[in-house]
Amino acid sequence: MAGKYKAVLIGAAHMHCLYLSRDIIACEGLEFCGFSDTEALTKEPVEPVPFTRKWNKQYITERLGVRYYDDWIAMLDEVRPDLAIVSTETCLHPLVFEACAERGIAVSMEKPMAVSYAEALKMARTAERTGTPLMVNWPMAWMPFMPIYKDIIESGRIGRIVKMHVIVGHPGPLGRGVRHPQVDETSDNTTPAQKASTWWHTRELGGGAMLDFCGYGAMACNYLAGQKAVMATGMRANTMSQFGDADDNGVIIVRYPEFMATLEGSWTVPVATQLPPGPTIYGTEGLVRVSGSGTGDDTVIEIVGYDGRIERVAAPAPRKELKNVQEAFVHHMDTGEPLPVFLDMYENLDVMAILDAGVNSAISGRVEPVQTRAWGNR
């Protein structure tokens, strides 16, 4: 590597900006050249409430010492970065990506790709027209058990996949007891009014548990099984968060050519609940499951046979380029090797199509097709 690649962070609305900042700083191949925010789309609290945009800004600039730019467009033009990490409201992804793409800046944005398949298609056209790399970052994808899952499935050790179940849940982005990665503070004292003022609880801006969490399952199913979804049924509800109009529970049942999948996302799960950190995958010869944190020594991967035998599989430390999106980008730039497939724009169009079908089904009450590019431009 001739020198470090320049990286910037755009967006303080998504609290993932906190750990993303730390990961940029820790990445030897990147120089963290600046941070900026887009204009707020809601009237958030004036006081710095943990994990709202003002608090996130202060954390990154004051605690981590990152230079702040008042204008994110000006930052792009001044810094001319190689990589922009985007953690804005989901509805702003197309706007920010277009500005970066017109300047030839590679982009990694926090999941999901967009608020709808139609918006994701706009971004894909921009990427194709400009030749700009567009990555979508899924924290689950970097967990050490994921390559092990892939190996187990491809080796045929559980036979042919017949069902997958993925549940992701906690008390909500600003819920009671929630701690976000590498941050000590919690959102225990956040009031309903303060939560309601954020984009997380505003449906039209991309808020809600279905878009936030069901996509993890869609990503995992597509990546691990290597099949394209066909149809989906979705249901969502707002059971404990009626101060806002976004759902706090969502489920999508997905039909694949040879198996079915259930994708659950919930913001009503107590923080101490031990949900599995990854999918449970059922095959004709057994199942594979994971328990524990998913990242630490407490992580346990098990293959359970129909004869009752249980085999425990160790998850080795991941290769450096599979640690996070920052390391993957540097490795790709240095070696020319492909990026991990779960970052790929076209793979994420397929994920977005599943989410879109789930949302459409929750509205229509019908089973909806998982669209392709030929049918999804609406």
- Please state the rounded mean pLDDT for residues 172-184: 90
Measured between alpha carbons, how far is 18 from 31 in angstroms, rounded to an integer? 17
- Per residue in 213-238, pLDDT (tens digit) is 999 999 999 999 999 999 999 999 99
pLDDT at 41: 95
- Whether the CA torsion 206, 208, 210, 212 is positive or negative: it is positive
Residue 378: pLDDT band (50, 70, 90) is: low
Residue 26: pLDDT band (50, 70, 90) is: very high
Evaluate if residue 261 carries a pLDDT over 90: yes
- Please state the rounded mean pLDDT for residues 138-166: 96
> Which part of the chain is CATH 3.40.50.720?
5-139+323-340
CA of 133: how far to CAs of 102, 191, 333, in Å? 12, 39, 11
Measured between alpha carbons, how far is 324 from 289 in angstroms, rounded to an integer? 22
Residue 38: pLDDT band (50, 70, 90) is: very high
Q: Which tokens hold the place of 224?
A: 């691990």
Q: Which tokens hold the place of 152?
A: 């187990």
Q: Which residue has the higher pLDDT, 56 or 376?
A: 56
CATH topology of domain 141-319+352-369: Dihydrodipicolinate Reductase; domain 2 (3.30.360)
Amino acid at residue number 167: I
CA of 256: how far to CAs of 121, 278, 294, 358, in Å? 22, 19, 26, 14
- Nearest CA among 342, 353, 329, 346 for reference residue 137: 342
What DSSP letter does each residue of 283-313 carry, written as one string? ESSEEEEEES-SSSTT-EEEEEETTS-EEEE
Helix or strand run (H / E) with residue 121: helix 117-130
Task: Find the angle CA(313)-CA(213)-CA(229) to the nearest 5 degrees.
Answer: 80
Evaluate if residue 2 carries a pLDDT over 60: no
Integer distance in angstroms from the first to the last C-alpha of the chain?
44
Helix or strand run (H / E) with residue 270: none
Evaluate if residue 127 carries a pLDDT over 80: yes
pLDDT at 1: 44
CA of 183: how far to CAs of 15, 63, 207, 251, 296, in Å? 10, 11, 22, 29, 17
- Please state the rounded mean pLDDT for residues 8-32: 97
Residue 377: pLDDT band (50, 70, 90) is: low
- Please state the rounded mean pLDDT for residues 111-138: 97
Task: Find the angle CA(119)-CA(229)-CA(340) to the nearest 5 degrees.
Answer: 70
- Per residue in 296-342, pLDDT (tens digit) is 889 999 999 999 999 999 887 878 999 999 999 999 999 999 999 99
State phi, psi for 290 to the nearest 5 degrees: -135, 145
Quote the distance between the C-alpha of residue 351 and its chain's center.
11
**Residue 283 near residue 160, CB atoms below 8 Å:** yes
User: For residue 307, how many other CB atoms are within 10 A of its CB?
Assistant: 7
- Please state the rounded mean pLDDT for residues 9-17: 98
- Per residue in 50-76, pLDDT (tens digit) is 999 999 999 999 999 999 999 999 999
**Residue 232 near residue 247, CB atoms below 8 Å:** no
CATH number corresponding to 5-139+323-340 = 3.40.50.720
> Which part of the chain is CATH 3.30.360.10?
141-319+352-369
Which 3 state secondary structure label does DSSP give 373? coil
CA of 3: how far to CAs of 29, 82, 199, in Å? 8, 12, 38
Measured between alpha carbons, how far is 19 from 225 in angstroms, rounded to an integer? 29
